[in-house]
Structures are given as structure tokens and as C-alpha cells.
Amino acid sequence: MIFGLPVISVAIWLPIIFGILVMATGDDRNAPLARKIALVGGVLGFLVTLPLYTGFDRGTSAMQFVELHGWIARFNIHYHLGVDGISMLFILLNSFFTPIVVLAGWQVIEKRVAQYMSAFLIMSGIVNGVFAALDAVLFYVFWEAMLIPMFIIIGVWGGPNRVYAAVKFFLYTLLGSLLMLVALVYLYNLSGGSFSIQDFHHLPIPMTAQILIFIAFFLAFAVKVPMFPVHTWLPDAHVEAPTGGSVVLAAIMLKVGAYGFLRFSMPIAPDASHKLAGVMIALSLIAVIYIGLVALMQKDMKKLVAYSSISHMGFVTLGFFIFNQYGIEGALLQMISHGFVAGALFLCIGVLYDRVHSREISAYGGVANRMPVFAAFFMLFAMANSGLPGTSAFVGEFMVIMAAIKVNFWYGFAAATTLIFGAAYTLWMYKRVIFGKIANHHVAELTDINARETVILAILAITVLGMGLYPLPFADILHESVSDLLLHLTHSKL
């Protein structure tokens, strides 16, 4: 409870209310005011999620901070919220990034500032709703509503090819979601009239139906993750989105899809999950290796990080579908870490783009000569992206590789190649951009990061190092829920 209000509801609605307030400031004459309100909203939005962490009971896998109210009685739909070890950290991660993207767009965004800030705040609330919803329709409403602000963000403040990217993003994700809707409605009728996700978990389902349900969910979630071969929207969306949009896409949106696998696909259709695990593992490994190689070839920094994200998310789905404790926990840690690292990398690219207005690697060279502080931060995040021990990324990757080797040596072997490819594409890019002689007059005129940028990057750097050196506070939260999920998965639902 915060001031007598339930924590999760506050975490969802406070940013949305601030978003509306920001929008109400009107046109760009009031831009300074809009920025300030947005920052206050973002920071408050993060602070109110902290009780979720401090008040979290690590000893149980049950849902906590549960809120249950009637909503649409006719279809037995409830306003049902709650978190467990799997979802809680993502609410924190999402709320943590909101003030950061507000700060990242502080000076850069000059057109329609209020709308920009408000879109991010509203989206932050909606995404919290996705992670906390325990009613399938409530989940679906948040899930779809999330598309609207992102569509606007990419389309209005994005790069030259923004319209194509925005429409592609929207339609790709809508396709998957609509089939998921049919699956949810089917489950509602099968369960005799309940939309509670936890009821779905215990519902016996015949094999054919399970496989069809799994495929419907797969389309919805795999597009969001994104998994090979439905990943093609992501590089487009990333490249065209403004920096803040890319950060939210990488840090948050991709996690929503992976979360869906754990909350829906696996527990609702466990037998189908086991049966199709081979396919899922194969797709994951293709993402890790093939997309890793694709990343190596990129000329555009944002595209490179986008492909790197797909490759890293392949690791996550691999961890899920080998069905053991280390695998799933490692994958979840990898998701959180990737949020920080990819978010930070996009912010770094944003710093360069704001100054030079190019994302091409070849437009840079010798940046370290002009921006030493920036180069140091960038170095840390590049190392983290390659999975260097001591950074947050190492923890998850190590656990997943270990778990994969336990199941099958070659899975682990194939997954481990990411350590090589990851290092190769990230560090090669870093070398070309940062080191060497000053490439051109644009680079020669660069100025080092200002106080605002330093604060943002420093916060992220501390988090990445902190999580890498002492991951227990994160891992601790996951443990009970993951054990319980695995136990659930061992029982057939036929």
C-alpha cells in the first residue's frame, strides 16, 4: 500500500495520469514545463514500484500484492493484478527506464515535446500492466494498448523511413496478437467461463488443442521477442525509432514477449511445449549463431545493436526451453541484464547521433580523442554486451550455457559461440568508432558528454557492474517462482 492505495495499481496508473498531465500542457511553447512534469512523473513512477521489491516475500511462489475486482461481469472478466518472482523485476526494470528515456530526450526532442514525453509515460504504465495482469483479457488490453504509443513514437519522431517501420511494427505485432486472442477466447470457453490466467494453468487440454494454442501464443510472443524467422521488423523499427524509442524497444518490449512464454505458453500448454521444445531450441540457436553473424556485417550502429539484441534474446528462449532451473533463471537474468546493456548501448549511439546525425560506423573514427569520458562508458557497455565476467551479462549467459551443456553438449557448444561472435561484432564496432585517428571534421568538432548524459550513463554503468559482481539480490527473487513453474511443467495436462 502507498498512501492507502494498492502498489501495483499505482505503478500502472501514476505514469498514465502524469502522461495525460504532460499532454495537457499543450504545444511547444510550454515544452520546459512538459519536460519537468514528465521527469517528476518518471521518477515518482519508479519510486512507487520500490515497495514491490522491499515488500516481496522471497519464500513463496504465490502471487503477491494481489488486487482482484470485478470488471466486466458478463464475461467474468476481472481487474486482477499481482506479481511473482518472474514478473516483479520487469516492472522495476520498466519503471527504471522511464525517467532515463525522459532525460535522454530532454534536449534532443524539440518538436511536439509534450506528446513525446506523454507517450513514454503512458506506455510505461501500460507495460507495467502487461507484467502484472493476471486476467487474460486485462493482459490482452494492456498488450495491445502498448502498440499505440510505440507506433506514434516511431512514426512521429523517427528517422527518414519511419512510416514504413512504424506500420511494419504495428501489423507484425497485431498479427500475432489477434491469433492469441482467439486462443484466449477458446480457453475461456474450455474452462467453462473463466479468464483467470491461473485457472488456465490448471486446465486439462487435449494434445491437438495444446499444440494449436501453443502455436497461437508462439506467433504473438515470438514476434515480440523477436525470434528467428519473425524478427525482421526489429532492425527496421530500431533504426528508425528515436533514441528513447529504441531504448524502450530493446530494454522492455522484447522482454514482454519472452515473459509471455513463461506466463502463458509453457504453463498452459506444457505437453505441447515439451513436444515442440526441439523446434524452439533450434530456432533459438539459429538466432544466436546466424543473427550473430548478421550483426557482424552491419554498417549501421543501431542495426548492429538490434541484431545483437535478437541474438541475445535467442539465448533467453534457449534457456526457457531446456526446462531446468539454471536455464530459466539464467534466461531471466539475461533478460534483465540485456535490458540495461542494450538500453545503455542505444543511449550511447544516441549521444553520437545527436552530435553528428549519422549512425554509420564509417562516419566515425577516433572519437576517443574528443570524447574520453564517453569512450570509457561506451567501453564498459560494449564489454558487457560481449559477456565479460564482472558485468551483468556474464551471469545469465554463463548459467544458460551451463544448463544447456547439462542437457546436450552441442546445445551448450553452439550457445557458447555467442561469446565469440558477441565480442567480435561489438568490439570491432567499438574499435572502428572510438579508436584510430580522427576520421573527419565532424568527429573533430565533437564535445564530450554533458552532465545530463553523464548522469544517465553513470547510473546504468553502476547497475551493470553491480549486477555483474553481486547478482544475488536479483537471482534471489526468481528462485521460488521458477522452481514452482518447473514443477508445474513436469505434470502432463492431457
Interacting residues toward other proteins by CB under 8 A: 26-27, 71-75, 112, 115, 137, 140-141, 144-145, 147-148, 151-152, 155-156, 162-163, 166-167, 170-171, 174-175, 178-179, 181-182, 185-186, 188-189
DSSP state of 30: G
**Does residue 113 contact residue 157 with C-beta atoms inside 8 Å?**
no
**Least CB distance to other proteins at residue 183 (A):** 9
Give the CA angle between residues 250, 342, 358 to the nearest 5°. 90
Of residues 205 and 478, the one with the C-beta less far from other proteins? 205
**Least CB distance to other proteins at residue 147 (A):** 7
Of residues 209 and 402, the one with the C-beta less far from other proteins? 209
Identify the CA nearest to 396 among candidates 438, 357, 338, 443. Answer: 338
3-state class percentages of the chain: helix first, strand second, coil last, to nearest 5: 75, 5, 20
**Least CB distance to other proteins at residue 80 (A):** 15
CA dihedral of 233, 235, 239, 241, whole degrees rounded to 10: 40
**Cα(29)–Cα(122) distance, integer angstroms:** 22
**Cα(19)–Cα(42) distance, integer angstroms:** 9
Give the CA angle between residues 127, 128, 129 to the nearest 5°. 85
Grid coordinates representing 486 are 518447473
Of residues 108 and 145, the one with the C-beta less far from other proteins? 145
**Least CB distance to other proteins at residue 391 (A):** 38
**Least CB distance to other proteins at residue 166 (A):** 7
The phi and psi torsions of 82 (rounded to 5 degrees) equal 175, 160
- Length in residues, the chain: 494
Is residue 282 exposed (0-12), middle (13-18) or buried (19+ Cβ within 10 Å)? middle
Of residues 189 and 447, the one with the C-beta less far from other proteins? 189
**Cα(268)–Cα(45) distance, integer angstroms:** 32
**Least CB distance to other proteins at residue 230 (A):** 14
**Cα(102)–Cα(456) distance, integer angstroms:** 10
Of residues 215 and 407, the one with the C-beta less far from other proteins? 215
Of residues 147 and 416, the one with the C-beta less far from other proteins? 147
**Least CB distance to other proteins at residue 174 (A):** 6
**Least CB distance to other proteins at residue 12 (A):** 12
**Cα(353)–Cα(348) distance, integer angstroms:** 9
**Cα(305)–Cα(311) distance, integer angstroms:** 10
Of residues 74 and 357, the one with the C-beta less far from other proteins? 74
Identify the CA nearest to 479 among candidates 54, 48, 88. Answer: 88
Handedness of CA 281, 394, 477, 250 (dihedral sign): negative
Q: DSSP string spanning 211-231?
A: HHHHHHHHHHHHHHTTPTTS-
The phi and psi torsions of 472 (rounded to 5 degrees) equal -55, -45
Of residues 72 and 458, the one with the C-beta less far from other proteins? 72
Identify the CA nearest to 346 among candidates 304, 387, 318. Answer: 304
Give residue 256's identity as a one-letter amino acid code. Answer: V
Q: Are strands 64-72 and 77-83 parallel, antiparallel or unpaired?
A: antiparallel
**Least CB distance to other proteins at residue 67 (A):** 16
**Least CB distance to other proteins at residue 87 (A):** 20
**Least CB distance to other proteins at residue 494 (A):** 19
SS3 category, 2: strand
Of residues 105 and 319, the one with the C-beta less far from other proteins? 105
Q: How many helices (H) and strands (E) does the chain have?
A: 25, 2
**Least CB distance to other proteins at residue 189 (A):** 5
